[in-house]
Amino acid sequence: MGKEIVVNAQGLETRVAILENRRLVEILFEREFSQQIVGNIYLGQVENVLPGMQSAFVDVGLEKNVFVHVKDLFPLSNKEQKKRIEELLEPGQELLIQITKESLGSKGPRGTCKLNLPGRYVVLLNYVNHVGVSRRIEDKEERKRLRQLAQDIVPADKGIIVRTVAAYKSNQEIKHDLNFLLKIWDDIHEGANNSKAPALIHQDLNLIKQIVRDNFTDRIDKFILDTKEDYYQVEELVDYISPRLKSRIYYYNHPKPIFDHYDIEEEIEKLLERKVWLNCGGYITIDTTEALTAVDVNTGKYVGKDNLQQTIVKTNIEAAREISKQLRLRDIGGIIIIDFIDMKSSQDQDKVLQVLKNKLAQDKTKTNILGLTKLGLVEMTRKKERERIGQFLQQDCSYCQGTGQILSEDTIVIQAIRKIREVLWKKKKEAILLEVHPNIAAKLIGLGGKNLEKLEKRLKKNIYIKGNPELHLEKVNILKFGSREEIEKLALPVEVGDELLLEVEERHLYRSQDGIARLKGYIIDIIDGGSKVDNKVQVKVVKVTKTYAQAKIIETIN
């Protein structure tokens, strides 16, 4: 089947899956409310200089300041390179800075003043007069041609790295790519001169466009997208950078979710599991701590056919293949310790290590195998570029005080939307009643019911949401589906004329004179209740809508 790129961009999240022979090998995420910032260029202001760490923290207008080490400052003459950071920077100084690493856990983003702009065929370096050619291009004559071309076209104060995909491309195509990047650099330079820190000067491409730029090559057989807007944008971009690939772009137009059609949803769920079974019957377990990731190999149900050592070697070889796959799929970085089953023969050890090295060589993220320790453990490192999948999709469990993990609220909201779409597609009904935890209900409904209104408009269905505080945060129950009138009677927790005892939780966001209370996740706007926050009041319901009710205060209890 070859290689395919499958894009799911329905709702609040964009997911890109890379498949090889219809099996998932890489999954990437981008959410509307937390877009990636790597590659963005900001005009920042130095806030702190730390001589002891030879680094500084720069305010670029993000939630956390950007960490910059002295070696990432630019420009530095030979004389300046010997200076300490406190001699080069001072608080209040403005810097043009590019994000190189996302925020990870408690750590803020990392940045550099050595700016670069990646294109389709070349990377433009603004800080050094240098020419480089990708090591993945092995043809000596082609390397020579590309190096000579790069030397001929590189500006005197810039540098170029020729990317792998540039191999055998015409001089005109590569020059065209460079000219496009030089135009972007001119815009960045002008924007920085006309801005005051902190300010975003240049925003990198979104996830889909990055995939087109970096991954959509002749090796990809199909590029499939499930929204017309993204389909046309990708067509337009490919028409500009690689017109011959345009025929490989497809629009998926079917009510069944695209990730279900390609069986990707099930594979994503498996990425959150601790145990991964091997085809032979053995299994590996993956445990991640703050310091490192530990991978343990076990024979499990596999007992072999001949002798114990052959059973062990076969299990370890299959585990080596699976481990390399899981590291890439889960985007695990940092220090990794692998505990293979003990092997007596050094030849068997070398054989397993070689399988691991060969498989990791296919991983574009830099890895380094340090070898076996005295305890027989394999030590390796993998560059940490993003949050691992578990960190992205999950959050610390509030039910077990952080000893385990559950799905994050944003992930549950997105799953609930997918479940609504699936049920309405299968049942062909007009309306649906959903029961979720109040936190999830609030996010699905949104401020003033805007999120729910947007979802109903997109699906052209009536959706009712009921909050249940006793429900597990991850649980999404479909209570009923049918006609709008039938579902509405079951869905609304109050009627006009009802008298209720409620606690005023907060002031109304837009009408500060009013207060807000909640009944099983259902919002009740208490008229003139803004001054009663944290007090209990007896109210009478005067208006009922799908997402909220209004009530008048009859009596203040305390």
Q: What is the CATH number of the domain that holds 180?
A: 2.40.50.140
Residue ending a domain, choose from 266, 282, 300? 266
* Domain CATH number, residue 224: 3.30.420.40
Output the pLDDT for position 401. Answer: 66
Least reliable range by pLDDT among 369-373, 389-393, 482-486: 389-393
| Closest by CA position to 258, among listed 507, 86, 42, 16 | 16
Residue ending a domain, choose from 327, 347, 382? 382
485 has pLDDT over 90? no
Q: Are residues 229 and 192 in the same domain?
A: no
- The verdict on residue 552 lying in a domain is yes
Q: Are residues 325 and 447 in the same domain?
A: no
Q: Are residues 31 and 154 in the same domain?
A: no
Q: Are residues 54 and 196 in the same domain?
A: yes
Mean pLDDT (the chain) is 89
476 has pLDDT over 80? yes
How is residue 535 written in tokens?
């007090």
Least reliable range by pLDDT among 163-172, 226-235, 292-301, 379-388: 379-388
Q: How confident is the model at residue 160 (pLDDT cuts 50, 70, 90)?
A: very high
- The verdict on residue 278 lying in a domain is yes
Q: Are residues 155 and 276 in the same domain?
A: no
Q: Are residues 230 and 157 in the same domain?
A: no
Q: Where in the sequence is the domain holding 544, given as residue range(s)? A: 499-556
Q: How far apart are CA 306 and CA 309, in angstroms?
A: 9
- The verdict on residue 84 lying in a domain is yes
- The verdict on residue 249 lying in a domain is yes
- The verdict on residue 133 lying in a domain is yes
- The verdict on residue 403 lying in a domain is no
Q: Are residues 429 and 312 in the same domain?
A: no
Output the pLDDT for position 147. Answer: 94
Q: How far apart are CA 165 and CA 121, in angstroms?
A: 6
344 has pLDDT over 80? yes
Split into its structural domains, the chain has a count of 5
Number of residues in the chain:
558
- The answer to whether the beta carbons of residues 162 and 147 sit under 8 Å apart is yes
Q: How confident is the model at residue 118 (pLDDT cuts 50, 70, 90)?
A: very high
Q: Are residues 221 and 167 in the same domain?
A: no
Q: How far apart are CA 355 and CA 324, in angstroms?
A: 9
Least reliable range by pLDDT among 176-185, 400-409, 525-534: 400-409
CA distances for 273 relative to 20, 288, 301, 389, 393, angstroms: 22, 12, 18, 11, 12
This prediction has a pTM of 0.75
Q: Are residues 311 and 437 in the same domain?
A: no
pLDDT in tens, 260-313: 999 999 999 899 888 999 988 889 999 988 789 999 999 887 666 667 788 889
How is residue 237 written in tokens?
């971009």
Output the pLDDT for position 213. Answer: 92
- The verdict on residue 396 lying in a domain is no
Output the pLDDT for position 28. Answer: 92
Q: Are residues 286 and 417 in the same domain?
A: no
Q: Are residues 277 and 321 in the same domain?
A: yes
Q: How confident is the model at residue 32 (pLDDT cuts 50, 70, 90)?
A: confident
- The verdict on residue 397 lying in a domain is no
Q: Are residues 128 and 69 in the same domain?
A: yes
Q: What percent of the chain has pLDDT over 90?
A: 56
Residue ending a domain, choose from 458, 475, 491? 491
Output the pLDDT for position 403. Answer: 66
Least reliable range by pLDDT among 198-202, 219-223, 330-334: 330-334
* Domain CATH number, residue 466: 3.40.1260.20
Q: What is the mean pLDDT of residues 193-220?
A: 92
Least reliable range by pLDDT among 148-152, 306-310, 492-496: 306-310
Q: What percent of the chain has pLDDT over 70?
A: 96
Q: What is the mean pLDDT of residues 345-359?
A: 91
